[in-house]
Structure 1
Amino acid sequence: MAFTTTYTLDKPYFYECFDESLPYSKRAKPKYFLLVLLIALGLFGIYGLDDHYLGTFMIMLAVLECVAFYYRRPWWVTRQMFSRASGSEVTLTFDDEGIKSSNHYKSYQLAWQDITEVVNTPNGLLIKNKSGMQYISKQILSPETLDFINKKATQ
């Protein structure tokens, strides 16, 4: 039994992908330790070493880390939009062997035994494996396909 579906890698898909996978990623919270370390080193540079340039540089690195955290969503989506695969149509095939994804630029196959977890999010599925996570929107999946994926992933 095989199920096939297609979707386009466009900006709304990338936003959905980011929003749905963020709570399950390591980037969901700021790097508090790094921020405290940079500010402490900056203050030590200013007051302990009397080197205002070094201290200001360290504190500005902490500010830059905060800005990067705040704008991580538009930055990630912009990087995806600049990729050569942006705007291309992706074909997903679900069969007894696993999940196959292909477009004009890249193709990969994920075997069912390599999948460690399938997380149901409000708008899609997060397929976790050893090398990372893949997001699939529920908008492109039929109820039969969803049942097939959940059944195969739990075997």
Structure 2
Amino acid sequence: MTQSSSYTASFTLDKAHYSECYTQSSTLSHDKKTYFKANVLTVFGLIILLATPVNPYAAWFVIALGLLETISVYYHKPWWVIRQMLSKASHSEVKLTIDEQGILTESFHINNRILWADVTRVTETDLGFLIYFSLGKTAMGKDIASKSYISKSCLSDDATAFIGQKNPTVA
């Protein structure tokens, strides 16, 4: 006999939540490779400025683009969090339901269900779970994938164990 399990939780989309989501799900690292494009733009602008007879305004524009790219990489997290805080969903209450069908997220602004059949991987982080799932296929047959983050702070121990059991990558 199988037992039907359903877990309900709620949380608020506030700055702390968004910051945790970014910290736990971001793959951006601050290394030389991340700043490569910014460095190339800056060096290219300096070469245009110092070694060619091109209008200096064009060179300064390319240098400014390189510096702007550097700043955008360096401040990626605060910029992402601010954009989320400016969204209409910010500060709203979200009801999370986890059951045998999947994960249902409901709020005033969105109702979204991720079916367990669409989940390709569940990764446990220090503070929550990353749920990777398929959104279907493109016209060319390529998979469209996405990920979602669920914080453990709003989940009970039973709900945490239930999500851990639903990981399709575990045999």
In the alignment, which of 149, 152, 165 is matched to residue 135 of structure 1? 149
Give the superposition deviation at 1:21.
Answer: 1.2
Q: TM-score, normalised by structure 1?
A: 0.88
- Residue 22 of structure 2 is aligned to residue 18 of structure 1: yes
Whole-Å separation in 2 of the counterparts to 1:105 and 1:93: 16
Query: What residue in structure 2 maps to residue 47 of structure 1?
Result: 50
Does the C-alpha gap of structure 1 residues 28 and 132 become closer, same or farther in structure 2, counting only changes over 3 Å?
A: farther
Give the superposition deviation at 1:147.
Answer: 1.2
Contact 2:42 2:67 in 1 (8 A): no
Whole-Å separation in 1 of the counterparts to 2:69 and 2:42: 11
Q: Structure 2: which amino acid aligns with 1:136?
A: I
**Structure 1 counterpart SS, 2:166:** helix
Query: What residue in structure 2 maps to residue 147 of structure 1?
Result: 161
Whole-Å separation in 1 of the counterparts to 2:35 and 2:19: 25
Residue deviations 1:98-131 (CA, integer Å, cap 9, x gap): 1110100011111112112111111111111243
**Structure 1 counterpart SS, 2:11:** strand
In the alignment, which of 107, 126, 129 is matched to residue 103 of structure 1? 107
- Any gaps of 5 or more consecutive residues in structure 1? none
- Please identify which structure carries the higher helix content: 1
Q: TM-score, normalised by structure 2?
A: 0.81
Whole-Å separation in 2 of the counterparts to 1:36 and 1:87: 38
The number of aligned residues is 152
* CA RMSD, 1 decimal: 1.7
Whole-Å separation in 2 of the counterparts to 1:73 and 1:20: 11
State the identity %: 37
